[in-house]
Amino acid sequence: MYVDKVIKNTFFTEVNGVKIRVYDSLREGFEYDTPLTLVFLHGLPGQISNWRYQLDYFKKLYRTVAYDQRGFGMSDKPKKVELKDFLKDLDAILEKLGIPVENAVLIGHSFGGLVAQTYACGKDLKGLVLIGSVAWK
């Protein structure tokens, strides 16, 4: 079952004092002809497995990354969280995984879309995909 594969192929990394669970298709041995990386950001509530079908399809074509945002899934659950924390986490994860912003396509659902569009402001992203996203003024 795919969900089991995703869980088996995840790892934890610490960013900004919080342990975050991450999925990266490179860890499954895939090799890609393009530096393009799809970064999936789940909504609230959510977790990596929300993207299981998209990861299964796109990992064959592009490097795919998804993670349990702080407070969700198997990531740490701090008592207080602000939007800026999610933005800093995304920045740190891209850096730790060696993904230049200009090669990243952020794909955000609901709250993940809010994180993606806020992060994209002033950044030279490769692309931005919003699915049922909320907006912030």
pLDDT digits (tens, 9 = 90+) for 107-130: 999 999 999 999 999 899 999 999
Report DSSP letters for 33-64, one per residue: SS--EEEEE--SS--GGGGHHHHHHHTTTSEE
Q: Does residue 78 have a cis peptide bond before it, meaning omega lies within 30 degrees of 0?
A: no
Output the six-digit token pair for 85: 């924390």
Residue 113 contacts residue 69 (beta carbons within 8 Å):
no
For 26-83, write each residue's pLDDT tens digit: 999 999 999 999 999 999 989 999 999 999 999 999 999 999 999 999 999 999 999 9
Judged by DSSP in three states, 10 sits in: strand
pTM: 0.92
**pLDDT the model gives residue 135:** 77
Single-letter amino acid, residue 119 = Y
